[in-house]
């Protein structure tokens, strides 16, 4: 089964992508991991990607797609894979569709984990982080025993810059502009499956299994 995971930042798609990969015995493929592996192994594609990354530029769509296609051509992907973090834009989706068609392949499902913006802001703004041991908490879902203090080492908990409301709103704005159109793209391709992401992680996973069965 060849699956694309979609969802806004903070919707939980990374966590669910790992669970789906485990459930179906297929690799979980994230573009970040692919970039790091190719740069580490000093491949030709990795060298090209590093040139852009070193300049603080986005890796072009065509090169990103080449890296992904390279990865899914490996033996462990013969029964399928879960793509997490790619495609992010319509040009990337087009490049992927075209590259797969050339190999006589196509995606089976694009699973969109739907969570309203306000829920995501609440989730992320409530996160707390221990700068000493790295433990994470949530003021509602997973509070520390003493407010604002790490259970492990008594360190004062902090809010990561990534989780600040203004940053979250900016990331959501970018998502709606660039990635949201993929929902329509895969709906048109008749492979879009939508799951309610406001439920517990286990319920969301059950929802994903139901739409994939």
Residue 38: CATH number of its domain: 3.40.50.300
* pLDDT band for position 212 (cuts 50, 70, 90): very high
Q: Is residue 138 in some structural domain?
A: no
DSSP secondary-structure letter at 164? S
> For 144-202, what is each residue's pLDDT tens digit?
999 999 999 999 999 988 888 888 899 899 889 888 999 999 999 999 999 999 999 99
Catalytic positions: 13, 88, 127, 160, 171
Q: Which domain range does residue 188 map to?
A: 2-116+166-212
What pLDDT is stored for residue 185 in this prediction?
A: 97
* pLDDT band for position 124 (cuts 50, 70, 90): confident
> For 72-122, what is each residue's pLDDT tens digit?
999 999 999 999 989 989 999 999 999 999 989 999 999 999 999 999 998
Q: Is residue 135 in some structural domain?
A: no
Q: Is residue 46 in some structural domain?
A: yes
Domain count, the chain: 1
- The rounded distance, in Å, linking the Cα atoms of 69 and 180 is 23
Q: Is residue 17 in some structural domain?
A: yes
Q: Is residue 121 in some structural domain?
A: no
**Strands, E, within the chain: which ranges?**
2-7, 28-30, 81-84, 109-114, 127-129, 136-138, 192-196
Q: Is residue 180 in some structural domain?
A: yes
């Amino acid at each position: 089964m060849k699956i694309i995971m979609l969802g806004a930042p903070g919707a939980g798609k990374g966590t669910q992508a790992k669970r789906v990969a485990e459930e179906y015995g297929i690799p979980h493929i994230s573009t970040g991991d692919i970039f790091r592996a190719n740069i580490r192994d000093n491949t030709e594609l990795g060298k090209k990607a590093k040139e852009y990354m070193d300049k603080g530029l986005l890796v072009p769509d065509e090169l990103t797609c080449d890296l992904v296609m390279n990865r899914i051509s490996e033996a462990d992907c013969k029964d399928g894979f879960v793509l997490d973090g790619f495609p992010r834009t319509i040009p990337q989706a087009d490049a992927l569709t075209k590259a797969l068609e050339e190999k006589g392949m196509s995606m089976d499902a694009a699973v969109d984990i739907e969570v309203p913006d306000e829920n995501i802001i609440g989730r992320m703004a409530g996160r707390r982080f221990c700068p000493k041991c790295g433990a994470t908490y949530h003021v509602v879902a997973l509070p520390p025993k003493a407010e604002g203090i790490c259970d492990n080492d008594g360190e004062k908990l902090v809010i990561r810059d990534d989780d600040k409301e203004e940053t979250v709103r900016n990331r959501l704005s970018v998502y709606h502009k660039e990635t949201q159109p993929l929902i329509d793209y895969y709906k048109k391709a008749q492979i879009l499956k939508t799951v309610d992401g406001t439920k517990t992680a286990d319920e969301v996973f059950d929802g994903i299994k139901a739409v994939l069965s």
